Structure 1
Amino acid sequence: MSGRLHLAVEIGGAGAHPGAWRLPGAADPFDAGGYLARARAAAAAGLDLVTIDDTFTPPAPDPAAIPGTPDAVAVAARVAPAVAGIGFVPVVPVTHTEPFHVSKAIATLDFVATGRAGWQPDVSRTAAEADLFGRTGPQPADVLWREAGEVADAVSRLWDSWEDDAEIRDAATGRFVDRDKLHYVDVEGEFFSVKGPSITPRPPQGRPLTVVRGDEPEALPVAARYADVVRVAAPSVAEAAELRERVRTAVADAGRDPETVTVLLDVEVLLGADAADTLRELDRLAPSGTDTAAATLRHTGPADELAALLRDAAEERAADGFTLLPLAYAAGADGLGGVTDALVPALGDLWSPAPYDESLRGRFGLARPASRYAST
């Protein structure tokens, strides 16, 4: 990690609460303008990155069901060129997709974001998601996460398959690449066989920031081996501290330095004087929302109280930073505004924005890795 506290915010959909889309004036998840406005506000406040959720789960008639979502990578590719000074990390469901397509999409995002891209591989668990593709049925969590780890490995190798100086763009001879600097990756795994090389040049960051959830036992080995940033959810500061230590131990057991991996704790937030009333309305619109209230830390109310909670978590070494999940983006519901306008000033000396130098990796104190296939 970089040694400073990190802040991220989820800007997708109508908010983290499953009833948020039913509020009057709820944000339209298919409106690019909303993503642009939220990303610009987060960048202006100095946050490190924004996340954009994604899922293959189809909409359901259940009033608690979250409606369909746009493709998070495509949304990030639309917004990133228009918003400077912040990273973009879309969630990428990998269970029913090919590593080659994923690597190309994230490499492209890193180009259009000028080195500010990341990605968060996720798994698809339900029969409904499997039926959309028809290739395989639902699988247990250990199988899903083994496959996700294989995807992360293949994607990383495909990014490395072009050496940094493989592009020569010699107009006189018509040679775009030096083919001696393109490499087969020859991945032969349990789930995929990928020969490569990529058809996209190596991304600006070499390997865009990889974010993996680490709060599920089956996911932890993937996070330990491949993640630059590990996201976790915990219902209390004490449990978050235990989880962070578990992540760091797993990273060390995987032969990596835990100091190079940042752990971000999810915190659901709804700020402002009317937050309690809004939450009651959200729970009325989608009663199942109350079933998950204890899944991670949640704060509704004044920003200074949230700042105190984050300070406590930081002092207890429960996290190296936080991913804030506004419960609602709607007219009259203070989603991101409460974070940027009230929380950030209330944090005081606990957090300060860092200048965006060259890349999202650099924001997290990570060097640009060399291609594993480059000649030494």
Structure 2
Amino acid sequence: MTAPHGRALLHLAAALDQRASHDAATFVEQAQLAERGALDFVTLGDTFARPGLDALAVLSRVAPVTRRIGLVPTVTTTHTEPFHVQAAVATLDWVSRGRAGWQIEVSRTGTEARLFGRRSSELPAPSGRMTSLPPSEALWREAGEVADVAARLWDSREDGAETRDEATGLRVDRNKLHQVDFEGGTFSVKGPSSVPRPPQGHPVRVVDATEAPARRTAARYADVALVRVAGPAQARAVRTELRQTAAGFGRDPDGLRVLAGLGVDLGDGERAAEPGHGGGGPRQTAQGPLYRGGPVGLAELIAAWHRANAADGFHLTPVEPRRDLERLVNGTVALLQHRGLFRTFYPGSTLREHLGLARPANRYAVAGGAS
């Protein structure tokens, strides 16, 4: 589907992050509201550095009471076991019937490292020894390996491997199970996965590619890259860089969606954007670019960036979740739908379908069953 000016329709996503909320009902309410607006997906951040509910577990609670919207928890690749991470994300894809994503993140702080008995200065190197490389480079290299082995494990059980043959008593066709035999810089995984191949084949992998060290991982492994920049020219430049790098890795760059990350404060009702928050771009803050104004002004900003081919869509983080998400859905999204820039209904049922991404072929089945 295309917009009136010939470009593909926008992709829109929203963050459900809420300060100090321990009530699952609030996350359910916000996800259902986002679904009424036909948003592609919602994200829920997580980190070992703060106390709070586990993002993946919360969205597993949200899954049965939503029907179409994608669910993308943050799960760090640092201090976690890759086999367990991929199994948990695959389980969310099954629970949600093909709507799961995974925002890949790294844990950078000494506080987080000490929770696991790891010195903050000790970082993974290809040899498995410790290195003095800048932390982000080493951590994102490890994150890329985790993203790689996760995809291999999702493929390690072919579609239809679970036979449940009552006559023979066999529950799995062993010809459709494959060892991945992966050797990374800091871990090794034999496989196969303990979870059947996810409904989407591969749940959608999301990477915040704002920082340079994360961009190679995003370009090589992500389906969606988030970029927090304050102007359309910057966004377009990063999008071009990501697509070119993806092509250099042998990927089809059209298989990578780049969304501009933007904080939104819609507390001013229908007023125009405050000076420096709209027009050519939002105001840059310590937390990233911020739009402050009304829903109409936000719709104008999004439409202008879309015309400029700056990004494939937006990932919006409400400053006040309950207030701003309601104004976003009923105001900004409604205006974009009226202008033919955003969908009015979900044409498919999976997150990959919302994003216009194909279901990946199984690498082992394509190879004729060779592992």
**TM-score calculated relative to the size of structure 2:** 0.86
- Which of 322, 325, 341 lines up with 2:330 in the alignment? 341
**Count of residues in correspondence between the two structures:** 338
Quote how far apart the aligned CAs of 1:244 are: 1.3
RMSD between aligned residues: 2.1
User: Which consecutive residues of structure 2, in runs of 5 or more, have no partner in the other structure?
Assistant: 3-7, 124-134, 275-282
Quote how far apart the aligned CAs of 1:273 are: 2.7
Query: CA separation in 2, counterparts of 1:103 and 1:147?
Result: 15
Tell me the secondary structure at the aligned position of residue 64 of structure 2.
helix
User: Is the 8 Å Cα contact of residues 89 and 119 (structure 1) preserved in structure 2?
Assistant: yes
Deviation readout 1:216-251 (Å, 9 max, x if unpaired): 211111111111111111022221121111111111
In the alignment, what sits opposite 2:290?
298
User: Is the 8 Å Cα contact of residues 59 and 73 (structure 2) preserved in structure 1?
Assistant: yes
- Which of 94, 103, 113 lines up with 2:77 in the alignment? 94
In the alignment, what sits opposite 2:362?
371
User: Which consecutive residues of structure 1, in runs of 5 or more, have no partner in the other structure?
Assistant: 15-27, 59-67, 280-290
Query: CA separation in 2, counterparts of 1:299 and 1:231?
Result: 17
Q: Which amino acid aligns with 1:137?
A: S
Quote how far apart the aligned CAs of 1:295 are: 5.3
Deviation readout 1:67-99 (Å, 9 max, x if unpaired): x23111111111011111110011111111011
Quote how far apart the aligned CAs of 1:252 are: 1.4
- Which of 245, 250, 264 lines up with 1:250 in the alignment? 245
Quote how far apart the aligned CAs of 1:356 are: 4.1
Q: Which amino acid aligns with 1:10?
A: A
Query: CA separation in 2, counterparts of 1:45 and 1:274?
Result: 19
Query: CA separation in 1, counterparts of 2:345 and 2:259?
Result: 17
User: Is the 8 Å Cα contact of residues 235 and 294 (structure 1) preserved in structure 2?
Assistant: no
User: Is the 8 Å Cα contact of residues 47 and 353 (structure 1) preserved in structure 2?
Assistant: no
1:134-213 matched pairs, under 5 angstroms: 134-138=117-121, 139=123, 140-213=135-208
User: Is the 8 Å Cα contact of residues 86 and 356 (structure 1) preserved in structure 2?
Assistant: no
Q: Please tell me whether residue 9 in structure 1 is matched to residue 1 in structure 2.
A: no
In the alignment, what sits opposite 1:69?
52
Query: CA separation in 2, counterparts of 1:339 and 1:358?
Result: 23
User: Is the 8 Å Cα contact of residues 150 and 191 (structure 1) preserved in structure 2?
Assistant: no
Query: CA separation in 2, counterparts of 1:30 and 1:356?
Result: 33
Quote how far apart the aligned CAs of 1:4 are: 2.1
In the alignment, what sits opposite 1:55?
47
Tell me the secondary structure at the aligned position of residue 176 of structure 1.
coil
Quote how far apart the aligned CAs of 1:135 are: 3.6
- Which of 68, 84, 101 lines up with 1:118 in the alignment? 101
Quote how far apart the aligned CAs of 1:37 are: 0.3
Query: CA separation in 2, counterparts of 1:230 and 1:296?
Result: 16
Quote how far apart the aligned CAs of 1:182 are: 0.8
User: Is the 8 Å Cα contact of residues 213 and 219 (structure 1) preserved in structure 2?
Assistant: yes
In the alignment, what sits opposite 2:278?
none
Query: CA separation in 2, counterparts of 1:346 and 1:124?
Result: 38
Quote how far apart the aligned CAs of 1:292 are: 6.8
User: Is the 8 Å Cα contact of residues 270 and 296 (structure 2) preserved in structure 1?
Assistant: no
Quote how far apart the aligned CAs of 1:275 are: 9.8
User: Is the 8 Å Cα contact of residues 303 and 338 (structure 1) preserved in structure 2?
Assistant: yes
Quote how far apart the aligned CAs of 1:159 are: 0.5
Quote how far apart the aligned CAs of 1:191 are: 1.4
In the alignment, what sits opposite 2:126?
none
Larger RCO (CA within 8 A; separation ≥ 6): 1
Query: CA separation in 2, counterparts of 1:263 and 1:177?
Result: 39
User: Is the 8 Å Cα contact of residues 117 and 209 (structure 1) preserved in structure 2?
Assistant: yes
Q: Which amino acid aligns with 1:220?
A: R
Distance 1:272 1:11, change over 3 A: same
Identical aligned residues as a percent:
48
User: Is the 8 Å Cα contact of residues 235 and 295 (structure 1) preserved in structure 2?
Assistant: no
Query: CA separation in 1, counterparts of 2:217 and 2:287?
Result: 21
